[in-house]
Amino acid sequence: MSDYLIKATAFEGTVRAYAIKSTELVEEARKRHDTWATASAALGRTMTISAIMGAMLKGEDKLTIKLEGDGPTGPIVVDANAKGQVRGYITNPHVDFDLNAKGKLDVARAVGTAGNLSVVKDLGLKDHFTGQVPIVSGEVSEDFTYYFATSEQVPSAVGAGVLVNPDHTILAAGGFIVQVMPGASDEAIDLLENRIATIPPISTLIREGKSPEAILNILFGETNLNILDKLPVTFHCPCSIERISNAIRGLGNDEIDDMIKVDGGAEATCHFCNEHYHLSPDDLSKLKQSEELQ
């Protein structure tokens, strides 16, 4: 089963709900960045929630999430858009700790418990939304719950989990966001709070093979749920040799001459997907010539 997310409403549209299976997305990030177990969970939870937040956008809109704690992983940066495309990196991928007192990957220790979570939404036509909140726990899900309550003023329940195999590959990853709109009844809110407090961890449900639809059914009961859309989710980075070449061209001829004569070529690595690019002196001189032609 490939990764996808489900958008739904419940209780006559007064509750918005999203659930995602993101195992392959997190595994792709692990392979690209060589993340160790605790770092995989930190990056994976952030990417999972970012994928859902991307799906809340429309058209060409996109967002960038930065989780900057004081822990050993350093900043985590994730881009997501309305098309289910997600890319991300963690500054130090080689972080792995013993399980915490609850028997879970100790994400708070890896991320840190002080710092900031920021969300920048690029809504086209030079319209940007920026929200920033302090990190409240470093467990990621709780930090996003706090972000939604404080910065967007939408009471939300956020869950995200990653299970890692002994060989560090990703066993299961997934998440959900449930948001209460104005007009939601007290009964609906009570029922939801009760279900969210009692369901098994989301990563356990994904490992058991539960689909995003099944997870929403567990949360709401089939009668209350109205599924609106299904969106495939993939790791996608738009970087390319053309983009790197354009960036180098923009540095100007003198700089390119230096790269040719002093460095004997140019190397570039994309932070987001860890793709390596190499430009030979020949490649570089072509960039120079095309600037002279302009």
Contact between 237 and Zn ion per CB under 5 A: yes
Contact between 273 and Zn ion per CB under 5 A: yes
Buried b / exposed e over 141-162, threshold 16 CB at 10 Å, is: bebbbbbbeebbeeebbbbbbb
Contact between 272 and Zn ion per CB under 5 A: yes
Count of residues interacting with Zn ion (CB under 5 A): 6
Q: Which is nearer to Zn ion, 196 or 239 (CB)?
A: 239
Q: Which is nearer to Zn ion, 2 or 240 (CB)?
A: 240
Candidates 46-54, 146-154, 237-245, 261-269: pick the segment binding Zn ion (CB under 5 A).
237-245
| Shortest distance in whole angstroms from residue 87 CB to Zn ion | 7
| Shortest distance in whole angstroms from residue 33 CB to Zn ion | 11
Q: Which is nearer to Zn ion, 227 or 239 (CB)?
A: 239
Contact between 176 and Zn ion per CB under 5 A: no
| Shortest distance in whole angstroms from residue 62 CB to Zn ion | 15
Q: Which is nearer to Zn ion, 142 or 275 (CB)?
A: 275
Candidates 25-33, 179-187, 251-259, 272-280: pick the segment binding Zn ion (CB under 5 A).
272-280
Contact between 235 and Zn ion per CB under 5 A: no
56, 239, 251, 268: residue in contact with Zn ion (rule CB under 5 A) = 239
Contact between 270 and Zn ion per CB under 5 A: yes
Q: What are the tokens at 33?
A: 């960045």
Contact between 49 and Zn ion per CB under 5 A: no
Q: Which residues bind Zn ion (CB under 5 A)?
A: 237, 239, 270, 272-273, 275
